[in-house]
Each structure stands twice: as C-alpha cells, then as structure tokens.
Homo-oligomer: A and B are copies of this chain.
Amino acid sequence: MTRLGVVLSGRGSNFLAIADQIRQGNLPAEIAVVISNRPDAPGLAAARERGLATVSLPSKGVDREEYDQRLAATLKEHQVEWVILAGYMRILSAGFIREFPQRILNIHPSLLPAFAGLDAQHQAFDYGVKITGCTVHFVDEQLDNGPIVLQAAVAVEDSDTPEALSARILREEHRIYSEALRTLLTKPWRIDNRRVVLGQ
C-alpha cells in the first residue's frame, strides 16, 4: 500500500473523493496523514471524523522556507511516499520539491496551460472559451506548471454561470484525480522531457 500525504487548505473535496476510492478498494494506497496550513479547514475536520491521522500546521506568520521544512518533516515522520495537494493554497519551495522528486501531485480546475492561478473557472468563463476542464499534474517550482498526468474536458454551455460551470468541473476533478493516481501507482510510466508517457 502506497502511503499518501494529503495537504489542504480548505474543504478538501478532492481529498474526500480519493479517500472514497481507497475505501472502495479502487486505489492501492492508504492515507498516512492529512495536513492543513489552516487550522479551521473543513477538510481537516472531515479527515478527523474519518479516523485519519491529521496535523494542523499553521502557516500564518511563518517564513516560507521554514514552513516547507516543517511540512516535509511532518510528511516524512508519517512515511509518506506521495504528496497529494488537494486545494493547498500556497506555492511550494524548491527545497520542498527536492524532498519528494516526481512524487507531488496537484489538481487544477482548467485545461493547463490555459488559466493558471486563482479562480481558473471564472477566468475561463470570462475569456469565453467553449471548452475548459481540469488537469492533474506533477508539481514543480512554478505555479501550475509541472508535467501533466491526466486532463478532462468540460463544455461551457450558453446558459452557464461560473458557479454551474465550476460544479461540473469539480465532478470531473473528483473522477480524474483518483484515476491519475491509480495509473501512476499501478502502471509503468516515465517523464519524457515534460510529457508523462505510459510504458517502460
């Protein structure tokens, strides 16, 4: 069983979707610890209710490098092999990323490289795209930039609102994050330049 460390800042709905897939036997993994930089994150409470190990590690007022060292140390204490970002609202330092090479995943609510950064669903809606979606990607030192594991497309309807669109994208997020993780844990893969390719 691969040991996952979940890091979140909010409700952690993508964490809950992965936890459900594990519980249903669809992912050969276990959640070793759930860590939040916000003590009041609903996702942390939900993890506690599920009987998972949780750590509240407040980031407020802490220097980034120092915070990331504490975060990495906490993950290693729990023998985490893969770091799963689930609505973690901070950029990770290069030092942190070096601690978990090719083992940090994130999900972003757009078809990257379009609409990186905050409020991607609103950005896409305002731009007027007819197709947007979501992206599971490896995390590197640049925001929303690492190699892409899996994407799903979501059509924008004429009658859409940003809220309705966000809800449909979120359903796809819940589906593909587990699917991407399952692929990476169960199949051979490699990163060829920045393309994630299945096979030896």
Contact = CB atoms under 8 A, between A and B. Distances in A.
A126 B193 contact: yes
A131 interface: yes
Contacts of A149: 130
Given A114-B114, A158-B199, A151 B131 contact: yes
Contact of A131 (B111, B194, B197): B111
The 4 nearest A-B residue pairs measured at CB: A128-B195, A153-B153, A130-B151, A114-B114
A153 B114 CA distance: 14
Contacts of A113: 114-115, 127, 129
A125 B193 CA distance: 11
A35 interface: no
B148 A129 contact: yes
Interface of A: 111-115, 125-131, 133, 147-153, 158, 193-199
A130 B148 contact: yes
A129 B111 contact: yes
A194 B129 CA distance: 9
A151 B111 CA distance: 13
Given A158-B199, A197-B158, A112 B126 contact: no
